[in-house]
Homo-oligomer: A and B are copies of this chain.
Amino acid sequence: MPSYKAPLEDVGFLLNDVFQIDRYDNLPGFSDASADVRDAILNEAAKLSEQVLQPLNRVGDKEGCTRHDDGRVTTPTGFKEAYKQVSEGGWLGLSAPEEFGGQGLPSTLSHTVAEFLTSANMAFSMYHGLTMGATAALLVHGRPEQKAIFIPKMVTGEWTGTMNLTEPQCGTDLGLLRTKAIKQADGSYKITGTKIFISAGEHDLSENIIHLVLARIEGAPAGIKGVSLFVVPKILVNADGSLGGRNGVTCGAIEHKMGIHGNATCVMNYDDATGWLIGEENKGMQGMFVMMNEARLGVAVQGLAQSEVAYQNAVIYAQERLQGRSLTGAKATDKPADPIIVHPDIRRTLLTIRAFNEAARAMVVWTALKGDVAHRSEDPKERQAADDHMGLMTPVLKGVLTDVGFANAVSAQQVWGGHGYIADNGMEQFVRDARIAMIYEGANGIQALDLVGRKLPRDGGRAAMAFFAEVAAFAKEHGGDEAMQPFVAPLSRALGDLQKATTWLMMNAMAQPDNAGAGATDYMKLFGLVGFAYMWAKMIKVTQDKIAQSGATPYLTSKLTTGRFFMERMLPETALHLTRIESGCATIMELPAEAF
């Protein structure tokens, strides 16, 4: 059975030392999150994850969710009690506004907590994650009375939320959606249609489920410009907030999936269901984008979270499994064989995962912090810069963290050899669960297109230029520092590759957009690598300073080694991506469709 320990030391290092979150005390909510408060919260989240959620991870996978003939869906043994505990602990409201019952703390903190919960039990934590996404959309685009009715109950977890976008004929291309909305005399709408792949669409954890649903109002324009967003509660809510009758929305089936069995993925049938418009008619994508951006960062964290828990269990196995001898002579001479962690190839595997985990976590904290600045700062320029960063980094984080997170779960499983293929050992569940994160909330190919086609050119490339400038400034500032050379030099080279790739795309994608499409995934990966390298360089600088000030610790020493491993073995991949991008689209577009 796998285990999990929340990476508290690493999180503390990032919040306190690398990003010095206390500097943001002027932002609302930050001064409430003093170091002591943060520690207490993170320790509590760790305990909850390790002791309550992690033990339910295998149970959830084995039992899955069950749809009964009457349309009810029940969750695996123990989920209900755990859900109650998480909700009552106030974990959903950590960074929700105080006026709706939240604690108003930085979202940086809630994203960190999300990593812990998700490492412990990804399928379970999605029930809360989706609720927080739906809450975010309501907060931005909901009318005052909608906010008043729904948000307080969602912040306590008494009610959960969902996102209803996909239909059988429409996934990425939401302009194709057919679900209909017909306006009623009282201002409400009757919603009819079928949605598929609805995570947490029906379950037994909460007394109500608040569906956010994309639909097309009768007479609306075709395509994406005729799509509106509605709130459709499973059980109707009276004006005083009390529950009324059952709405016309039911779960028609649950999907049998590769993983995340503990989360009910539903086909949802809307049959004259009563819904209320959120935001303006035909502007449904605006509200959906709020939810999607929130969700994309959440999904990126899933990639990291699965990579982290898979790493931890691979390490335990590698330290305990005795098999063969070190190439340089027996190490555990008192034992029949050496633990396999003596083997360079096992260490290479582990360090590859670890170097990603620590850089990815830093990028999440960095970006979440920008998110807080974007939402909470009073300085419009600061807000804009932070928002630029969020827009640019969200597809990179979603695409890269989930691609690499999955690959890492596979590598960690490999460390276990044949035992990694056996279900009860849990390693293969990490692989199956992590796999979905590359697909939902926009498949990673779409993230890459969002990056090159939308986020990169936006505002004349302002966001990307700011990022390049920040990295270049760091390299310049520390270029003369000899101890930083093994980190700054590769960082600068990698930034050079990214800038060349950016220039190539600017020169070649205008005339032939397929050049952007052909290079998109490589560009996203290249961007991610430079982001990681910058995080590593920043972390190493802080590590060196701390060691100089107060001496080495095992944690700090490992940081130095892991950072060097990243620079030597992982970052050189940037050149490969640049080569591929520069090879363009000609060969790729050559074959007729039927020749494949």
Partner of A513, one of B196, B328, B590: B328
Collect the chain B residues with CB atoms within 8 Å of residue A443's CB: 414, 417
Some 9 contacts from A to B, beta carbons below 8 A apart, are A176-B336, A258-B423, A319-B594, A345-B445, A347-B588, A347-B591, A348-B588, A557-B595, A565-B587
Over the window 314-332 of chain A, the binary record of Cβ atoms lying under 8 Å from chain B Cβ atoms (1 yes, 0 no) is 0100110011100110000
Extra 7 A-B pairs, beta carbons < 8 Å, given A344-B520, A568-B583: A170-B323, A176-B323, A327-B514, A348-B518, A414-B438, A417-B439, A572-B576
Residue-wise, chain A 554-574 has the 8 Å CB interface mask toward B (1 for contact) of 100110010011001100110
**Does A271 make an interface contact (CB < 8 A)?**
no
Whether A593 pairs with B435 at a CB distance below 8 angstroms is: no
Q: Does A143 have its Cβ within 8 Å of any Cβ on chain B?
A: no
State the Cβ distance, A32 to closest chain B Cβ, in Å.
Answer: 36
Instruction: Decide if A518 touches B341 in the complex (CB within 8 Å).
Output: no
**In the assembly, what is the distance between CA of A406 and CA of B421, in Å?**
14
Task: Tell whether A444 is near chain B: CB-to-CB under 8 Å.
Answer: yes
**Within the assembled complex, what's the spacing in Å between the Cα atoms of A170 and B322?**
8
A579 on the B face (CB < 8 A): yes
> A573: which B residues are within 8 A, CB to CB?
576
Report whether over half of chain A's contact residues are helix, strand or loop; otherwise say mixed: helix
Q: A171-B418, A573-B576 are in contact. Are A448 and B517 (CB under 8 A)?
A: no
Question: How distant is the Cα of A591 from the Cα of B559 in the complex, in angstroms?
Answer: 10
Stretch of A41-49, A234-242, A296-304, A424-432 with 4 or more beta carbons under 8 angstroms from chain B? A424-432
The listed residue (B258, B421, B520) touching A436 by CB distance below 8 A is B421
Per assembly, the copies of the chain total: 2
Q: List, in ascending order, chain B residues with CB within 8 A of A410's CB.
A: 406, 435
Shortest distance from the beta carbon of A426 to any chain B beta carbon, whole Å: 11
Q: Which of A176, A257, A445, A557 has the most CB of B within 10 A?
A: A445
Q: Which residues of B contact A413 (CB under 8 A)?
A: 435
- Docked complex: A527-571 residues within 8 A CB-CB of B: 554, 557-558, 561, 564-565, 568-569
Nearest CB to that of A353 among chain B residues?
Answer: B596
Q: CB-CB contacts of A261-290 with B at 8 A, as 1s and 0s?
A: 000000000000000000000000000000
Q: Which residues of B contact A558 (CB under 8 A)?
A: 591, 595
Interface size on A, residues (CB 8 A): 95
A342 CB, min distance to chain B CBs, angstroms: 7
- B residues near A322, Cβ cutoff 8 Å: 169, 176
B414 touches A518 (CB 8 A): no
Q: Of B257, B323, B512, which contacts A423 at CB under 8 A?
A: B257
A349, A410, A421: most-surrounded residue (chain B CB, <10 A): A421
Inter-subunit contact A421/B435 (CB<8 Å) = yes
Provide the A389-429 mask, 1 if CB < 8 A to any CB of B, else 0.
00000000000000000100010011001101111100010
User: Which of chain B's residues have a CB closer than 8 A to the CB of A590?
Assistant: 561
Query: A152 an interface residue at 8 Å Cβ cutoff?
Result: no
Interface residue? A158 (CB, 8 A): no
A354 within 8 A of partner (CB): yes
Q: Which residues of B contact A587 (CB under 8 A)?
A: 351, 561, 564-565, 568-569
The answer to whether A561 and B344 touch across the interface, beta carbons within 8 angstroms, is no
Task: State whether A521 and B345 are in contact (beta carbons under 8 Å apart), knowing that A565-B587, A572-B580 are contacts in the complex.
Answer: yes
Tell yes or no: A162 within 8 A of B by CB.
no
Determine if A516 is an interface residue (Cβ-Cβ < 8 Å). Answer: yes
* Complex Cα–Cα for A587 and B562 (A): 8
Is A173's beta carbon under 8 Å from chain B?
Answer: yes
CB neighbours of A342 from chain B (8 A): 593
Interface centre among A339, A440, A591 (most CB of B within 10 A): A591
> Quick check: is A166 within 8 A (CB to CB) of the other chain?
yes
**Contact A345/B256 with A323-B171, A323-B173, A588-B351 known, Cβ cut-off 8 Å:** no
C-alpha gap A345/B515 in the complex (Å): 10
Q: Which chain B positions have C-beta within 8 A of A444?
A: 414
CA distance A467 to B569 in the complex (A): 28
Q: How far is the CB of A460 from chain B (nearest CB, A)?
A: 21
Complex Cα distance, B593 from A322, in Å, reads 13
Contacts of A176 in B (CB 8 A): 322-323, 336-337
Q: Is the CB of B565 within 8 A of A588?
A: yes
Give the complex CA separation of A323 and B322 in angstroms: 51
